[in-house]
Each structure stands twice: as structure tokens, then as C-alpha cells.
A = this chain, B = another copy of it.
């Protein structure tokens, strides 16, 4: 409706002056500033975002691409949004549900400069497709990748898994069952490698337990508990793929009259809300710091700045479930 010229006219000053007031520039006399602000609020004026973007060549809008949403992802997104907003960026979330087209929509928005940057928190398209878009703006990811072009804030989970399993061992557990998440994922691969190295190091015999894979939900945890109860030869500890699975297992076991950690030790992963709630031992993965790093990476490229990245470290959170 009203534009900057209208304000200038009514205030009897130039558009430059209005612009200066708007952007908090110095060298505007107090009285003029006051008058301009007065008119602005009278006319309920806001600068037009498109005009600003056009002039500045940036929209202060960052897209986040996520195939689906887990509690952990939500943590990441929230932390990212938080810091981004501190720097004056807004976030727009693209939930692709695995639809390649929807992902391209976001990529194209980067290309046409409707987005300043993009975070691929989980992607569906091939990396090559995404790499091709890096020339249009910063793209950062949270997945592990081979690509040299797209920076990642991913953390290798090998070390984290060692941390967890050594803890279980030190607590006296000797028949540990590992529950894994996505069977095709790199995380699972790293975790398995860690477990294998552990087995070798301590010369652990094979207990012949079945492979548990693709377990990620509370319900999976409950089913796991059911399985455990049905066994005669039971594991003495369950190292769960994440806190949700651990939570499901713990509650179901207690519901059925078993004691944790009395009858079996249970350990989660990620240190999400629910781990805190149920007092689960878990591995803290610094999602919020990873998110901040993702933003810092972007901000550094956008503003040619040189903010320092947080150094990331997994931490064992010992609570009462082991």
C-alpha cells in the first residue's frame, strides 16, 4: 500500500532519510527520525520484502529439506531455526516425504534466489543432483557423504558406539545385544563395525541372538521387550538404536513385571527428551551444536565471515537404566 516515497512525502524528507531511519543508520537528526517513525506507524508501513531482496540480492530465507521428521530431526531443526533467527534469517521447511520433485522445488528456489541457502537434513535425490546446485548458494548437509563439494556436519558414530558399549562392559554386562536402525544406513554400518571390534577386543563369544535391524520406534522397543521375555537364554543388556526404542523396551518390561536394570540393562542413543524423562542411560549427541555448525557454515559463506565451528563430541550420559 504505502511505500517509502509516500512516507518521505508526508514527513517532508527524502526517501534516503526514511531508508536511513528504517535501517538504523547514523547521521539522522533526532527530530527528523522521530517524525519519520511517527508517520511510519501512523500509516502502518512496512518495507516491501521483495524490493529489499531484489536490491540486496538476498532474501534472508534458508530452506531445510527433510524427508520425514523424527524427534532428533526436530531438535536439529529447532536449534537451527533458533540461531538463524538471531542472525535475521527465516526458515522454510520442505517436507518431501521422499518425493524427488518436491526436493527439486526447494533446489529451484535456491537457483532463482528465493532462498539464500539450503540445509539437506535428509535427502532423497542423488548427491550429484544436489551438488549441481551448490553453485547457486551454500548447501550444507547433516548426512555423511563422500562429496567434497557439500560440507557436512555429520558425526561419525563409530567412536560413540564404542563409548556406549565399553560402558556396558565396564558395568559387568557380558551378553550384550545390539539393536540397529536403518539397515542400509552408514550409521548402522559404523555401529556394526564398532561392535565387531569390541567383540574381538574382549574375545566375546557369539551368543547366537538374531539380528535386530530397522528398529526405530517406541513400538519396536515394545516388541523387542516381548522377544526378550520369551527367551530362555536372554541378553543381559540391550544397546538400542535410539532412545525411542529404549523407551519402548523399558516401559514394556516394567509393565510386564521386570526390573531395569535389575533383570536387564538398557541403553539408548541420542539423548532426546524421552531419555531424560525415563532416566535412560544414553549417548549424548550434540545435535544442537551440529545445527549451529550447519548455520555457521552457511553464514560464513554468505557473509564472508569466519565464525569458528563448535568442536563436536559424543558424551556418555549415565542414568539409571544400566
A residues with CB within 8 A of B = 46-51, 53-54, 59, 61, 69, 74, 77-78, 81, 85, 90, 92-95, 97, 102, 105, 108-109, 111-114, 218-219, 226, 251, 255
Chain B, residue nearest A47 (CB): B112
**With A and B bound together, what is the CA distance between A61 and B59 in angstroms?**
13
Chain B neighbourhood of A105, CB < 8 A: 85, 90
Collect the chain B residues with CB atoms within 8 Å of residue A46's CB.
108, 111-112
Q: Is the CB of B78 within 8 A of A97?
A: yes
Give the distance to chain B from A24, nearest Cβ to Cβ, in Å.
17
Report Cα–Cα, A50/B111, bound state, in Å: 12
Q: Is the CB of A113 within 8 A of B218?
A: no
- In the bound assembly, the distance between CA atoms of A226 and B255 in angstroms comes to 9
Which residue in chain B gives the minimum CB-CB distance to A55? B50
Query: How far is B95's CA from A99's CA once the two chains are assembled, in angstroms?
Result: 21
Interfacial chain B residues near A102, Cβ < 8 Å: 81
Question: How distant is the Cα of A60 from the Cα of B251 in the complex, in angstroms?
Answer: 47
CA distance A160 to B176 in the complex (A): 50
> How far, in whole Å, are A51 and B52 apart by their CA atoms in the complex?
10
The 4 closest A-B pairs by CB, nearest first: A92-B92, A50-B53, A49-B114, A50-B54
Closest chain B CB from A87 CB (angstroms): 13
The answer to whether A50 and B85 touch across the interface, beta carbons within 8 angstroms, is no
CB distance from A76 to the nearest CB of B (A): 12
Q: How far is the CB of A119 from chain B (nearest CB, A)?
A: 14
Closest Cβ of chain B: how far from A291's Cβ, in Å? 14
Contacting A54 at CB < 8 Å: which of B54, B93, B114? B54
* B90 in contact with A93 (CB, 8 Å): no
A226 contacts which chain B residues (CB < 8 A)?
255
Residues of B within 8 A of A251 (CB): 219
Q: Complex formed: what's the CA distance from A85 to B105 in Å?
A: 10
Which chain B residue shows the least CB distance to A111?
B46
Q: How far is the CB of A230 from chain B (nearest CB, A)?
A: 12
Cβ contact within 8 Å between A51 and B49: no
Contacts of A48 in B (CB 8 A): 54, 112-113
Bound-complex Cα distance A92 to B85 (A): 16
Q: Provide the residues of chain B in CB contact with A54, threshold 8 Å.
A: 48, 50-51, 54
Which residues of chain B are within 8 angstroms of A85 by Cβ–Cβ distance? 105
Min distance, Cβ A49 to any Cβ of chain B, angstroms: 4
Knowing that A49-B113, A69-B69 are A-B contacts, what are 17 other residue pairs whose CB atoms are under 8 Å apart, sorted by A's residue number? A46-B108, A46-B111, A46-B112, A47-B112, A49-B109, A49-B114, A50-B53, A50-B114, A51-B54, A53-B53, A61-B114, A78-B95, A81-B102, A85-B105, A90-B109, A92-B92, A93-B94
